[in-house]
Amino acid sequence: MKVFFIVPPELHFIEAYNTKKVDKGREFRQKLGILAVAGYLRDVGGITPRIIDSLADMLSLEDIRKILKKEQPDIVGFSVLTFNILDCLEVVRIISEVSPATKVCFGGFHPTIYPLETLSLPGVDFIVMGEGEITFTELVLTLKDSPHAKNKEPGNLKELGGETNKNKTIPILDLTDSSTEKKKGFAAIDGLGWKDQKGRPILNAPRKPVAKLDTFPMPAHDLIDLEKYSLVLAEDAKVASIQTSRGCPSKCTFCDIRLTRYRYRSAEHVMEEIKFLTGLGIREFFFLDDTFTINKKRVYELCNLLIESKLDIKYKISSRVDRVNQEMLDMLAASGCYRIHYGVETGSQRLLDYLEKGVTLEQTINAFKMTKKAGIETFAYMMIGIPTETKDDIEQTIQFVNKLQPDRVNYSICSPFPKTKLYETALNNDPTMEDYWGEFAKNPEPNFKIRTLNEYFTQEELRNIQDKALKRFYFSPRQLAREIYHTRSFKQLLLKAKFGMRFLSPRFK
Ligand code: B12
Ligand code: SF4
Do 175 and 37 reside in the same domain of the chain?
Answer: yes
Residue 225 has pLDDT above 60, yes or no: yes
pLDDT at 99: 98
Lowest mean pLDDT among 7-16, 18-27, 38-47, 192-201: 18-27
**Position 201: which residue type?**
P
Domain presence at residue 248: yes
Average pLDDT over residues 142-150: 80
Query: Of 96-105, 134-143, 172-181, 456-465, which range is least confident?
Result: 172-181
Which runs of E-coded beta strand occur in 54-102?
Answer: 75-79
Range of the domain at 391: 230-415+452-504
Predicted TM-score of the model (pTM): 0.92
pLDDT reading at 400 higher than 80 = yes
Which of 140-149, 258-267, 329-338, 422-431 is the least confident region?
140-149
| Final residue belonging to a domain, choices 166, 186, 203 | 203
For the CA of 254, the closest atom of ligand 2 is 1
Q: What count of other Cβ atoms lies within 10 Å of the Cβ of residue 350?
A: 14
Residue 430 lies in a domain: no
Q: Both 336 and 279 in a single domain?
A: yes
Does residue 76 belong to any structural domain of this protein? yes
Report, as an integer, the average pLDDT of 263-283. Answer: 96
Answer yes or no: do 249 and 120 share one domain: no
In a domain, 218, yes or no: no
What are the Cα distances from residue 93, in Å, to 74, 80, 149? 16, 15, 22
Rounded CA-CA distance 72/88 in Å is 17
Does the beta carbon of 252 lie inside 6 Å of ligand 2?
yes
Kindly list the protein residues whose Cβ atom lies closer than 6 A to any atom of ligand 1.
16-18, 23, 29, 31-34, 36-37, 77-79, 81-84, 105, 107-110, 113, 128, 131-133, 136, 243, 255-257, 288, 290, 417-418
**Co-location of 236 and 199 in the same domain:** no
Asked whether residue 399 is domain-assigned, the answer is yes
For residue 5, report the phi and psi dihedrals to the nearest 5 degrees.
-115, 130
For residues 467-484, average pLDDT:
85
The answer to whether residue 177 is domain-embedded is yes
- Domain co-membership, 243 together with 193: no
| Whether residue 479 sits in one domain with residue 402 | yes
Does residue 267 share a domain with residue 175?
Answer: no
Residue 157 pLDDT more than 70? Answer: no
Q: State percent of the chain over pLDDT 90.
A: 78
Same domain, 251 and 199: no
**Which CATH number goes with the domain that contains 401?**
3.80.30.20
Least confident of 165-174, 239-248, 488-497: 165-174
Q: What's the rounded mean pLDDT across residues 90-101?
A: 98
Calculate ∠ Cα 340-131-145, nearest 5°.
Answer: 145
% of the chain beyond a pLDDT of 70: 84
Which of 168, 186, 203 is where one domain is finished? 203
Is the domain of 153 the same as that of 275?
no
Task: Give the residue from 375, 376, 313, 312 showing the smallest Cα distance to 342.
Answer: 376
**Residue to mutate (ligand 1; options 12, 17, 81, 436; most atoms within 8 A of CB):** 81
For residue 33, the model assigns a pLDDT of 98
One domain for residues 97 and 235: no
Evaluate: CB of 149 within 6 angstroms of ligand 2: no
Residue burial 222-248, b: 16+ Cβ < 10 Å; e: rest: bbbebeebbbebbbebbbbbbbbbbbb
Q: How far apart are CA 335 and CA 308, in angstroms?
A: 9
Q: Which long-range contacts (CB under 8 A, 24 or more apart) does 350-355 make?
A: 350/393, 351/386, 351/388, 351/389, 351/393, 354/253, 354/386, 354/387, 354/388, 355/252, 355/253, 355/254, 355/386, 355/422
Q: Decide if 319 contacts 248 (C-beta within 8 A).
A: no
What total number of domains does the chain contain?
A: 2
Residue 458 forms part of a structural domain? yes
On average, the pLDDT of the chain sits at: 89
Sign of the dihedral through C-alpha 369, 371, 375, 378: negative
Q: What is the mean pLDDT of residues 2-27?
A: 76
Contact of 137 with 40, CB cutoff 8 Å = yes
pLDDT digits (tens, 9 = 90+) for 285-298: 999 999 999 999 99
Task: Give the CATH number for residue 108.
Answer: 3.40.50
CB of 422 within 6 A of ligand 2: the answer is no
Q: Is residue 224 part of a domain?
A: no
Among 203, 219, 241, the domain-final residue is: 203
pLDDT at 334 over 60: yes
With contact defined as beta carbons under 8 Å apart, do 19 and 464 qualify? no
Same domain? For 76 and 197 the reply is yes
Claim to verify: residue 180 and residue 264 sit in the same structural domain = no
CB of 255 shorter than 6 A to ligand 2: yes
Q: What is the pLDDT, as a whole number, of residue 159?
A: 35
